[in-house]
Structure 1
Amino acid sequence: MELRSARHRVLIDCGLFQGSRTLEALNFQPLPFDPHSLDLVVLTHAHLDHAGRLPTLVQHGLTAPVICLPPNRQLLGPMLNDAAKLQAADAERRNDRPDRAGRKPFEPLYDSQDVARLIGRLDTVRAGKWIEPLQGLRLRLWDAHHILGAASVELNLDGQSLLFSGDIGDGATHLADPSSPEGGWDHVICEATYGDRDREVPTPDDRREQLAQAVKTALARGGNLIIPAFALERTQVIIEDLVALFDAHKLEPVSVFIDAPLADKVTEAYRRFDHAQRRGPSPFDHPRIRFVRTIEQSKALNRISGAIILAGSGMCTGGRVRYHLLRNLPRADSTVLFVGYQARGTLGAVLQGGAKLVRISGADVKVRAEIASLDTYSAHADHAGLLRWIAARAPISGSLFLDHGEPPALARLAADVAALPGIPTPVIPSLGERFRLEPRSACSVAGEARSDAIRLVDGADWHSRAARLRELLDIHLAKLPSDAARAEALEAITRAVEALPATQSASPDAQGVATPTMLAAS
């Protein structure tokens, strides 16, 4: 989100759109603000949906500092360089596809030089410490208990007190900080990822028991266990749990391949910031844990069975996990175990939804593998936790914004928040929408959302629907009584396709004029 005051322009996060190809295409559209005009960028944490487009800011003239907590200096380099490599590889792969011949080539968003320039703009601060980076603007970052280096952002801008939750973990929902300033908050912006889901937060032992049962069930089938996992935080926690189960003799030691070079680099930050005070050998050095660093080593995994393979990305939107899915989804003896949130429209969500045919890198892949999920590794607070966090922020004299959630999660959380004392009726901003913020007053709409905002977030992805259509076509053609009937059916379908409009105008980017104090959902 972008904040515009009479004197300053501040950006909170600049992440990648993740999900369907339709949604990901937004990453390549022009930014709805001028990076050169920004006075400050504040980063909540290093996950790509919050940090993944930061290098594009320096491409377009960013000269302002980027403020964050210290671990992010070590995390962002590997995370963003890996994203740049994946973008380049994805662009090359898509450009080489036969069905792309003669069409405009894809280009990656940024490269390693852009990442290096971004890292040079980082300015780390200590959690809980007030700073005044700009005249008339004070801020401090609070530990959000989400992942390593995650923060909530407290801002005092031109006399208004604002709080951005960032992504918050369950630990943050039991703490008073950040406490309400005198007179209460003017405006609070809170995430709603699990706004419609209550779950029992397990102890580490309970979580490991569930993982052990999932591993035993999967490997008993005889194939591989593929775990799509984010390189940041989720991979490290799963490694720790597997090693703890091996050492406690609750799980027979098997080979665990970490097929994500990024995870190896990210783990170094965990060694420094998260494990420095622990005694004993590091779980990351266990002999059964093997980091896969080369393409050749990754391809060699195609010839094995009975192993655990952790690979990114966690939502199967890119990375090496897609190669393992190509090989293992058609195998009835293999298992895919999801241990993280799957945004609507992603390949992971499509598989969780029970699809029997998916499209990966231009190929239609039949799903015969077992698809399983564990809901015990979330780094996000659940519905009840979010309600606790919001209730602890009372009183809010202006507006409460709910963001970072699918429509059902936002709707459920908004309905339940309305009953909390001292909390105003929540506002759910749409993509591109702008609001005027005043002290101790409810916000007012200052600019409309994109005309295609609802369609973009509804999770529909034409690529998956096209794969399903091809499957249905094959099924129905096979049922027809003769080749002549099949030829007639294909001619009718061809005529229908040729009758479709060849072009359609694209929806324009959201535009809006600057107002003295404004928040824009960018």
Structure 2
Amino acid sequence: MTEGISITFHGAAGTVTGSCLEISGGGKTILVDCGLFQGTRSLERLNYEKLPFDPAKIDAIILSHAHLDHSGRLPCVYAHGGKRTTYCTAPTADILKPLLLDSAKLQAASVERRNRRADRAGLPPFSPLYTDPDVMELMKNINTVDYCEQVDLGNSVSFRLWDARHIVGSASVEIKIAGQRLMVSGDIGSGSAIQCTGQELGGYDHIICEATYGAKDREETLIRERREALATNVENTLGAGGNLLIPAFAVERTQAILEDFLALFDSKRLSPINVFLDAPLAQKITMAVLKYRNNGADLLKRSNIRFIESVAESKQLNQITGAVIIAGSGMCEGGRIRHHLVRNLPWRQSRVLFTGFQVAGTLGSVLIGGAKMVRISGNDVTVNAGIAVLDGYSNHADRTDLAKWLEEHSPVSGSIFLVHGEEQALHVLSNDLTAANQYNDPIIPVLGEKWKLLPNASARMQTPARNDAKQLIAAQDWTSRLAALRATVQQKVRALPSNQDRDKMLNALERALESYQKEKLR
């Protein structure tokens, strides 16, 4: 009789971040990804909880790709007793080291800054998730594998990586375990992937598939159209005397944007304006990525593309106007983009151009949502700058591409789990698959759920979700809501005709607060 498999969803279940799957069977326990939670404060707090599995009992870790929402907690595994190998492609390994060292550095700086804030006086101090030695311990345990290479983990458990077309080195993970064949999509890109010749594609027992853009079909954007849109944003912003801020992910997105600027300069579509890359990490990542991208573009030797390294140089950019500033992070949750936002958001002449997916609750999503005031590093910042979105850089498969990917990997004799998506994306893709009549009803797992997998049968739940799972996913970014409320109150109080009216309104607000506090104490 075939042994069952258990799969536990420790992340990216009902949300887009924190990807982490624990798969047990055949006497082995495998972890696929271990990423950071990003988004609302409630989700981010999960990063600081005890790992929801015993690191010492993990037999192998397989990393689909380097993005922090898939890799950002891996050093924690080794910091808390993990000793086994982490497997990934060579490009992923090359990117991973600078990415995680930078993450450790940013955490240390953030912790120091937050602990110094006056509103945290007397509260327990924050500590970083991990430090440089934890990252280096992970790197000592990395084993790189090629696409299509069969890796034997013992006990008739093995895996193979397939090209996922998301970023350089990204992979989908096929696992053979306890007599069953599973496929974990990782993040899927668009376009035709390199297939493993002579290997069977399709016919899986169960599939775990991402759904980031499960509710959205994007219009195909030609590279020349994307570049023209970028040039138009530059001209409109710099022509008004402002700065164009581009929050960008260090991996792939920054390189693609820089390549577009080079093409626009070389074609004379844009004059050689100053472009500042204020992201030391992105420079290191660019050097790593260019090893695997043979497009002939030398991104590091253009006089008008300036790489900013020191904090002092970064602060000097606050004195300039009429420039393009590319800085991390892509969702504005950390990095140098935040101090550029503090300076530029109040300027009507400036513009913030988003080029990637913004997780709900992140500062980026709040800005795109039309917030008139936001909270950044303890400051309430008025938003007068223009906010724009340029979709042509996405490396994620859209609704149609996801359905096509699943069709290519059919038939599926058991269940399809939909992960790594927000509520609408998950349910739209689930409805599409149900309507197609090709699959058993898709499962949308919730954080903490454990499922039993058997061959030729739908999965069965073994352990329910954590009690607060739905509240965590539904939570909004209260800091930005509070900033917006302050702005609204201030505006309405000032608009009143007399000081007597202002006193009445403030008295009413104070009474409402007192009433709420009394109600809570009952």
User: TM-score scaled by structure 2?
Assistant: 0.92
Deviations 1:408-434 (A, max 9, x none): 011111111113353222111111111
For the pair 1:144 / 2:164, whether they are aligned, the reply is yes
Specify the alignment match of 1:407 in structure 2: 423
Task: Quote the offset at 1:388 in angstroms.
Answer: 0.5
For the pair 1:84 / 2:100, whether they are aligned, the reply is no
Secondary structure of the 2:290 match is: helix
Structure 2 contact 164–187 (Cα < 8 Å) conserved: yes
Structure 1 contact 189–401 (Cα < 8 Å) conserved: yes
2:434 aligned partner, one-letter code: A
Task: Quote the offset at 1:178 in angstroms.
Answer: 9.2
Q: In the aligned structure 2, how far is the partner of 1:53 from the partner of 1:419?
A: 37
Structure 1 contact 344–459 (Cα < 8 Å) conserved: no
For the pair 1:397 / 2:417, whether they are aligned, the reply is no
Secondary structure of the 1:250 match is: coil
Q: In the aligned structure 1, how far is the partner of 2:195 from the partner of 2:251?
A: 27
Alpha carbons of structure 1 residues 463 and 179: separation in structure 2 relative to 1, 3 Å? farther
Pick one of 403, 416, 425 that aligns with 1:387. Answer: 403
Where in structure 2 are the equivalents of 1:66-105 lying within 5 Å?
Answer: 66-105=86-125
Q: In the aligned structure 1, how far is the partner of 2:317 from the partner of 2:384?
A: 19
Q: In the aligned structure 2, how far is the partner of 1:150 from the partner of 1:318?
A: 24
Specify the alignment match of 1:135 in structure 2: 155
Pick one of 471, 474, 484 that aligns with 1:468. Answer: 484
Task: Quote the offset at 1:403 in angstroms.
Answer: 0.5
Specify the alignment match of 1:443 in structure 2: 459
Q: Comparing 441-450 with 201-210, which one deviates more in the overlay?
A: 201-210
1:4 aligned partner, one-letter code: S
Specify the alignment match of 1:160 in structure 2: 180
Pick one of 259, 273, 279 that aligns with 1:254. Answer: 273
Measured on the aligned residues, the alpha-carbon RMSD in Å equals 2.0
Q: In the aligned structure 2, how far is the partner of 1:16 from the partner of 1:271?
A: 26
Q: In the aligned structure 1, how far is the partner of 2:74 from the partner of 2:87?
A: 12
Specify the alignment match of 1:215 in structure 2: 234
Task: Quote the offset at 1:307 in angstroms.
Answer: 0.5
Q: In the aligned structure 1, how far is the partner of 2:225 from the partner of 2:492?
A: 48
Structure 1 contact 180–395 (Cα < 8 Å) conserved: no
Q: Comparing 245-254 with 476-485, which one deviates more in the overlay?
A: 476-485
Pick one of 377, 381, 392 that aligns with 1:376. Answer: 392
Task: Quote the offset at 1:499 in angstroms.
Answer: 5.1
Structure 2 contact 201–408 (Cα < 8 Å) conserved: no
Structure 1 contact 391–423 (Cα < 8 Å) conserved: no
Task: Quote the offset at 1:344 in angstroms.
Answer: 0.6
Pick one of 264, 270, 284 that aligns with 2:283. Answer: 264
Q: In the aligned structure 1, how far is the partner of 2:518 from the partner of 2:140?
A: 46
| Number of matched pairs | 500
For the pair 1:416 / 2:432, whether they are aligned, the reply is yes
Secondary structure of the 2:459 match is: strand
Alpha carbons of structure 1 residues 503 and 9: separation in structure 2 relative to 1, 3 Å? farther
Secondary structure of the 2:205 match is: strand
Alpha carbons of structure 1 residues 216 and 182: separation in structure 2 relative to 1, 3 Å? closer
Task: Quote the offset at 1:206 in angstroms.
Answer: 2.4
Unaligned runs of 5+ in 1: 505-522
User: TM-score scaled by structure 1?
Assistant: 0.92
Structure 1 contact 264–291 (Cα < 8 Å) conserved: yes
Structure 1 contact 391–421 (Cα < 8 Å) conserved: no
Alpha carbons of structure 1 residues 446 and 178: separation in structure 2 relative to 1, 3 Å? farther
Structure 2 contact 202–408 (Cα < 8 Å) conserved: no
Q: In the aligned structure 2, how far is the partner of 1:319 from the partner of 1:57?
A: 24
Structure 2 contact 26–155 (Cα < 8 Å) conserved: no
Q: In the aligned structure 2, how far is the partner of 1:503 from the partner of 1:111?
A: 44
Q: In the aligned structure 1, how far is the partner of 2:373 from the partner of 2:290?
A: 40
Secondary structure of the 2:257 match is: helix
Task: Quote the offset at 1:488 in angstroms.
Answer: 5.0
Unaligned runs of 5+ in 2: 1-20
Q: In the aligned structure 2, how far is the partner of 1:210 from the partner of 1:5?
A: 50
For the pair 1:110 / 2:98, whether they are aligned, the reply is no
Q: In the aligned structure 2, how far is the partner of 1:249 from the partner of 1:225?
A: 19
1:380 aligned partner, one-letter code: H
Task: Quote the offset at 1:100 in angstroms.
Answer: 1.3
Specify the alignment match of 2:73 in structure 1: 53
Q: In the aligned structure 1, how far is the partner of 2:269 from the partner of 2:101?
A: 38
Q: Comparing 420-429 with 53-62, which one deviates more in the overlay?
A: 420-429
Where in structure 2 are the equivalents of 1:483-502 lying within 5 Å?
Answer: 483-487=499-503, 489-498=505-514, 500=516
Deviations 1:318-355 (A, max 9, x none): 00000000000001110100001111100000100111
1:289 aligned partner, one-letter code: I
Specify the alignment match of 1:63 in structure 2: 83
Q: In the aligned structure 1, how far is the partner of 2:439 from the partner of 2:403?
A: 11
Q: Percent identity?
A: 49
